[in-house]
Amino acid sequence: MILSLLKQRRRKRLRTRPFPKQWLTLIQRHVVFFRRLSASDRAELLGHIQVFLAEKRFEGCGGFAIADEVLVTIAAQACLLLLHRRTDYFPGLLTILVYPLSYMVEEKRQVGEHLWEERTVSRLGETGRRMGSLVLSWGAVKHGAADPVDGKNVVLHEFAHQLDYENHAADGVPGLATREQQLAWAAVMKSEFASLRAADESGIPTLLDTYGATDPAEFFAVSVEAFFERPRALRARHPKLYAELQGYFQQDPVEFSAEQDG
């Protein structure tokens, strides 16, 4: 109780301290959505960024050096997910690992009952419920910040997974306040997930990345990318999904999105 009060007080102090000018310049230059936010949202975001950068550790991998541009470009995109609601700043996450470009991992996957295939795949980001860390490719982060309407954003995707873990399971359900909200969420996600799977199997083009057909956790992460990057299209084509995300995030990205109509 006292600890949490101290934490809250420390965070409040961090949020209200003057934002470093050189950081602001970098954000204005590299994070395209930032200039489209309302003045009050920009101020709230900068406050969250100060807490985020004070609490998370960054590590460069593969010889990559973490410059200020890297810190603020990741923080600004991650903290967009925190606006307008009470937040504990991705509590399970301690360290963010950054590779210069994509990185290779050995992946073992089951292809038959007793058959496993091992292969080397390249990745742009990942995180896990018990990892305490999140991995990102700087190349993908930079691209995501520069193009806010292509439907893809590795930072939003991986940090959406962290929100999913806040209620202790990687099940595509973030922390929702009431039982009613949980039931409504479950009903919408179940039917939207099923239709993405069906579309994926029959090869019908979809607005949502079909990677979301993997499981409910990936479905949530992919939906969050679409919510912030293609809000008009998502609202038109998946109004119930849009409404659930809008209720959870307490945001309406249509208001600040650079996405064109149609």
Give residues in contact with Zn ion (CB under 5 A).
Answer: 218, 221
Q: How near is the Cβ of 134 to Zn ion at its closest, in Å?
A: 11
Query: Burial code of 31-54, b = ≥16 C-beta within 10 A, e = fewer?
Result: bebbeebeeebbebbbbbbbbbbe
Q: How near is the Cβ of 16 to Zn ion at its closest, in Å?
A: 34
**C-beta of 50 vs 153, nearer to Zn ion:** 153
Beta bridge partners of 59: 97
**C-beta of 50 vs 127, nearer to Zn ion:** 127
Q: How near is the Cβ of 135 to Zn ion at its closest, in Å?
A: 11
Helix (H, G, I), strand (E, B) or coil at 247: helix
Q: How near is the Cβ of 53 to Zn ion at its closest, in Å?
A: 24
**C-beta of 82 vs 124, nearer to Zn ion:** 124
Residues 26, 68 contacting (CB under 8 angstroms): yes
Q: How near is the Cβ of 162 to Zn ion at its closest, in Å?
A: 11
Q: How near is the Cβ of 157 to Zn ion at its closest, in Å?
A: 6
CA distance 75 to 52: 7
**C-beta of 42 vs 123, nearer to Zn ion:** 123
The CB density around residue 93, as the number of other CB atoms within 10 Å, is 22
Residues 6+ apart with CB under 8 A from 114: none
**C-beta of 41 vs 218, nearer to Zn ion:** 218
Q: How near is the Cβ of 257 to Zn ion at its closest, in Å?
A: 22
For the purposes of burial, counting CB atoms within 10 Å of the CB of 102, is it exposed (0-12), middle (13-18) or buried (19 or more)? middle
Token pair recorded at residue 143: 């691209």
How, if at all, do strands 115-123 and 125-127 pair?
Answer: unpaired
| Residue nearest to Zn ion according to CB distances in the complex | 221
Of the candidates 182, 203, 192, the one whose C-alpha atom is nearest the C-alpha of residue 234 is 192
Strands of the 95-99 sheet, one edge to the other = 57-60, 95-99, 133-137, 125-127
**C-beta of 218 vs 244, nearer to Zn ion:** 218
**C-beta of 15 vs 123, nearer to Zn ion:** 123
